[in-house]
Structure 1
Amino acid sequence: MRGRLFVMTGASGVGKGTVRAKVLERTRLFYSISMTTRPPRPGERHGVDYYFVDEAAFLDLVAKDGFLEYARYVDHYYGTPRKPVERALARGEDVLLEIEVQGALQVRKRLPEAVLIFLVPPSLSELRRRLVLRGKDTPEKIAKRLARAEEEIRSAHLFDYVVVNEVVEEAVGEFLAILKAERRKTPYMEEALRRALSRDPDLESELDEIERRL
């Protein structure tokens, strides 16, 4: 059976990367690495966190229809290379994307069966606190991110699920619960239903013998 596509999104600084890393530690998913034109942050590695490329290389892949989705966000491009995702789904693997809001909605148009999960902060003030304490952006860029975050949160009704990332472990637990519920939907439980209707000849004989003795 074809795999299931899960898409995580949310405002910058909401903790998508932290939640994603903990989810991947606890369940089996094919994680699709995104491509971006922004420079690596300290500790980020090419081919692990993102594929870091220049704008010319990114736009060349756009022209070749090489992305499942792509978007421009805070002066940089982000996109999901299409082929790795399609191959994993065809192998029957469940796939996780961690992408921007615009990109998630593009995926919904291409693959309506995708499950979209929106990660939100407890409040915009808390999101601002996290961005300030992260110390990676200028006040001007933080203001731009907050304005974009407010706009994005207003589109959350277009998504299947909303997870509030106030306490990381609780958010991870809720995310895993969503994965489990989606995997228990009837089309994905065909093998379990076949087993439920099966009979074990040895056990049946044993039960027949017990009934005769009663």
Structure 2
Amino acid sequence: MASLEGLFNTDFSYPGIEIKVELLVMQEYLKQIEVGINAVCTSYLDNEIIKYAESEYYEYQHIYSIAEGEIPRAIKLPLVVSIYTIFENSITQLLSYAQGKEQKGLSIKDINDRFLTAKFNKYMKHVLEFDFQISEHSIKDINALSKVRNCIAHANGNLPAMSKDKIDELKKLERSGAGIELTSLRIDVSYDFLNKYMASVEKIVKELMDYLETRYDFN
């Protein structure tokens, strides 16, 4: 069980309180996800096999494909979207808080950029005048996460619904060993992918929280 020690701050308008809890919840969920999926698949197989007790194997062999592929995929893919959302919402909330503390008229919504990480960095550098930037290594991780997230959010993970350029980007990411798998029709992600990119998101968010808590002299 993760400890909540040190989560709470006397400034209860600081969004880091809720963000730290959200990070803890996702951490704990990911620790249990593989075991949980296996339990769901086992239960599904047990129930389905009973229905086919008098049938030939070819009549029910499809249930193994469902248990081994479709069920895990259906549970894992939405988590990619959730992890990306944690990143986007957490940084946005922290920068909105900083806007109030720094008494700046421009909000993060006033900054335009194709890439979310670049938008955040521009706001921190040019508006808040922070001596803090999301690192190049972290930007690469978020960009990779974003490509997979977009495939899931906009096409439900179905590759034929994506443009050739987007599919080529995903193929390149697959070859890099990021932990995704492409077939002719669909994308899937590994448990390692979920854990790796959640760790990247957590690192960025906590680094910004540490910077803010030092800047505003939180105890």
User: Taking structure 1 as the reference length, what is the TM-score of the superposition?
Assistant: 0.28
More strand, by proportion: 1
Which one scores higher on RCO, CA 8 angstroms, separation ≥ 6?
A: 1
User: Taking structure 2 as the reference length, what is the TM-score of the superposition?
Assistant: 0.28
